[in-house]
Structure 1
């Protein structure tokens, strides 16, 4: 007699499946995350360019100003960028279809 409990052998449907499903979900989410990052970066660069054109400041100074305004208004940086670009939100930036 042994003191080891009788546990049936794994057939590959246990934790391996969960791990593999999690890895697949992570791989599927990566393109979405990169697309969101690219869109955010583009909006930030446009807002910085607008501030630079209006005030004659450097790119670094424009970025700092956007951060300052966002903090002062209790907003995120991307919200401040949309406000600076004059649309107020991403939904308003895209014209509605006719």
Structure 2
């Protein structure tokens, strides 16, 4: 893939949840439950690590993939090439969150 070894070694020590614990900014974390790149397990780790902090807002969307597009089958890379639309509920939630912060 042409990615240097140092990049992969650096990822071994990367803990994004610990890093986000240092933030002082409100943060919205959204997840589609059909996302195969960032899984629901990953979302749960974020929520477990940061959920007791009022700066963080979490929402899991049923039936949405990584691109917040709907589907009824497990998500695949081919799905990213299909014509689709960003879910309206996600758009509304992002807008409401921005306006409230």
Kindly indicate whether structure 1 or structure 2 has the higher relative contact order, using CA contacts under 8 Å at least 6 residues apart.
2
- Superposition TM-score, scaled by structure 2 size: 0.25
Instruction: Flag the structure with higher strand content.
Output: 2
Instruction: Flag the structure with higher helix content.
Output: 1
